[in-house]
Amino acid sequence: MLWEQLTSADFARAVKETGVCVLTLGVVEKHGEHMPLGTDFLNGHREACLAAAIEPAVVFPPFYFGQIYEARCYPGTLTLPPTLLLDLLLNVLDEIGRNGFKKIILYNAHGGNNYLLPFLAQTTLWTEKPYSVYLYKGELGEERARQWQALLETDNHMHACECETSVTLANFPDLVHMERVPKEPAEPLGRMAQVPGAFAGISWYANYPEHYAGDARTASIEKGRALVKLTVEALAEFIARVKADEAAPALNAEFYARVRDLGKE
């Protein structure tokens, strides 16, 4: 169920019937020369909607603000100041909770959010919330992961690559320009290799200055359909597990009770 397409009365019923809202987190950024700027949030939202059609949940409207500072030098990228971004995300979670959802799934559709979203989940412990947050990391499970790898012909899957291009071909074929795919794969340049083991804000740009990583030449709509199916099935199963979960709400209640009792005799 899509939040924005429900009437107010239908929305209220959906909250009671499902109890779960899925917030997909992508960004707007360059995806090589052949992919749309909205690749991440477009694909993520589509996958969330397909999963929610299998395991009923309410999907938050398309959301496209996240951590993408490493792409600010490319046309079309949308960024927000770090503190504003975190404040926005926290307030979005609170609004979802204010509308009655007791469980919120964060579905990450962008690699650049991999550090932000675990921190976002942890910040919900700062003040007591009427909801529990579950970050879905996109884990397919052993068998689906094996099937995923069997579909692919290349090894480097980072950004606008074979798998991401294939998925976008399946979801939005009119937005992919295969004739613009570079003739050579984009391998990491290693321009931070003199400091092994280090992570810096510029690390991604150091490796991939054209914001393209991998080799999209072997991408296809057939591969994309199979990859989307694996992704959607795994996400639907995660939604079902979250629905059935009683541990996180109980642990949150226990934790906040101890916070309130801290210092009391």
- pLDDT on residue 263: 67
Instruction: For the chain, give every domain's residue range.
Output: 3-261
The string of pLDDT tens digits covering residues 219-250 is 999 999 999 999 999 999 999 999 999 999 99
What the block records as the tokens of 256 is 């906040």
The radius of gyration of the chain from alpha carbons, rounded to an integer in Å, stands at 20
Q: Which three-class secondary structure string do you get for 182-221?
A: CCCCECCCCCCCCCCCCCCCCHHHHHCCCCCEECCCCCCH
Whether pLDDT at 6 is above 80: yes
Rounded to the nearest 5°, which phi and psi values hold at 136? -90, 120
CATH of domain 3-261: 3.40.50.10310
Q: What is residue 264's predicted lDDT score, i.e. its pLDDT?
A: 72
pLDDT tens-digit series, residues 77-103: 999 999 999 999 999 999 999 999 999
Tens of pLDDT, residue by residue over 34-68, are: 999 999 999 999 999 999 999 999 999 999 999 99
Q: Would you tell me how many other CB atoms lie within 10 Å of the CB of residue 29?
A: 27
Tell me the C-alpha distance between 261 and 184, whole Å: 61
